[in-house]
Chains A and B, each alone.
Chain A
Amino acid sequence: KAGVTQTPRYLIKTRGQQVTLSCSPISGHRSVSWYQQTPGQGLQFLFEYFSETQRNKGNFPGRFSGRQFSNSRSEMNVSTLELGDSALYLCASRLGQYAGGEAFFGQGTRLTVV
């Protein structure tokens, strides 16, 4: 079956702009998490959604937001982009809502802010 799909794969934006990234989880998976990866901070948890509800949120400013649709697809939005937002943004899907079970990651969206 198809894996986690993230679009677009690469993106270049200018400071001050906003961006929306998309994630389609594995068919049947209802939990979607987002992570930011930078060389300095490594992989950091942004937020997790299940059944269109945000279940958990990492320590990121309010410029970072997300949502999940009824078909489990998820989007994350970053407003007023800063140079430091340049990163690889990864989406992971899981079958259920609770802590067990492995997460399957997409290939990520590489965002460059200039």
Chain B
Amino acid sequence: DAKTTQPPSMDCAEGRAANLPCNHSTISGNEYVYWYRQIHSQGPQYIIHGLKNNETNEMASLIITEDRKSSTLILPHATLRDTAVYYCIVRAFNAGGTSYGKLTFGQGTILTVHP
């Protein structure tokens, strides 16, 4: 699986949009970008994933650059409860591949939302 690079920490004011970048310059054509977050002392929570098109769900939006070498997770109106570690993970969608469901977590970005 491709390696990702994220800033170690970011701050955001409550009510503003939080834009979390992720670099995955070695991503392959069959690899998806996944985002998870982990609120203190809880298990990671799935947020969103995408291949090459922008994606949006009730939690966030995912913007993937045209060359797919980087992406941005957008939390449109951050709240204090969004304070967490955010992980960007690149993973192959390869039926029958040996990686199966393995997630390779990096250090992530600590997002702090302040009042």
Contacts and interface: CB of A to CB of B under 8 A. Distances in A.
A98 B100 contact: yes
A87 interface: no
Given A48-B101, A56-B102, A105 B45 contact: yes
Nearest to A108: B43
A72 interface: no
B37 to A, nearest CB: 11
Contacts, number: 78
- Interface size class, chain B: 20 to 34
Contact of B100 (A44, A97, A104, A108): A97
A100 B100 CA distance: 8
Nearest to A104: B46
A88 B108 CA distance: 17
Contact of A45 (B46, B49, B93, B104): B104
Interface of B: 32, 34, 41-46, 49, 87, 91-108
Given A4-B43, A90-B44, A106-B43, A98 B105 contact: no
Given A50-B100, A94-B101, A102 B46 contact: yes
A113 interface: no
A106 B43 CA distance: 6
A63 interface: no
Contact of B101 (A42, A58, A103): A103
